[in-house]
């Protein structure tokens, strides 16, 4: 089956630093990837849609200058949390669309803790 990986799985950083999270589709090409953030009670919020070779589409309320998304290739999208603050601490999950299908394959998530 399709596999999506995320790296790192866990990161702890100081307030004010930037953190990059990678999302890779390991055995398929993903023209579209999605970035989610998990909130309490297991709810997931879509942050942005990442399209290969073009700018990401951000959801309302998500600061594009703070959460930089780059989809440089058909197998890699990155999310950079710039000038991280403790309130950015969360679980970030990516998913990837496989080819022309509607199926999304989710990564295992990245736990970010900002001290």
Partner 1 sequence: EDKVVQSPLSLVVHEGDTVTLNCSYEVTNFRSLLWYKQEKKAPTFLFMLTSSGIEKKSGRLSSILDKKELFSILNITATQTGDSAVYLCAVEKNNNNDMRFGAGTRLTVKP
User: Which chain residues interact with partner 1 by CB under 8 A?
Assistant: 1-2, 9-10, 36, 41-46, 59, 91, 93, 95, 102-106, 108-109, 111
**Closest distance to partner 1 from the beta carbon of 103 (Å):** 6
**Closest distance to partner 1 from the beta carbon of 60 (Å):** 11
Instruction: Tell me which residue of 33, 56, 30, 35 sits closest to 45, measured CA to CA.
Output: 35
Question: Given the DSSP bridges, would you call strands 32-38 and 19-25 parallel, antiparallel or unpaired?
Answer: unpaired
Greatest Cα pair distance in the chain? 41
**Closest distance to partner 1 from the beta carbon of 51 (Å):** 15
Q: Quick one: the chain helix, strand, coil %, rounded to 5?
A: 5, 55, 45
CB 114 within 8 A of CB 15: yes
Instruction: Tell me which residue of 85, 87, 90 sits closest to 21, measured CA to CA.
Output: 90
Which C-beta is closer to partner 1: that of 9 or that of 73?
Answer: 9
**Closest distance to partner 1 from the beta carbon of 52 (Å):** 20
């Amino acid at each position: 089956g399709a596999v999506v990986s995320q790296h790192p799985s866990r990161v702890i950083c100081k307030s004010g630093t930037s953190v990059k999270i990678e999302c890779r589709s390991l055995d398929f090409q993903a023209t579209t990837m999605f970035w989610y953030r998990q909130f309490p009670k297991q709810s997931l919020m879509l942050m942005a849609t990442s399209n290969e070779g073009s700018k990401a589409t951000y959801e309302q309320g998500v600061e594009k200058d703070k959460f930089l998304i780059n989809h440089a290739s058909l197998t890699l999208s990155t999310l950079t949390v710039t000038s991280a603050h403790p309130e950015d601490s969360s679980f970030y999950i990516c998913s990837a669309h496989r080819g022309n299908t509607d199926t999304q394959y989710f990564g295992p998530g990245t736990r970010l803790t900002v001290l």
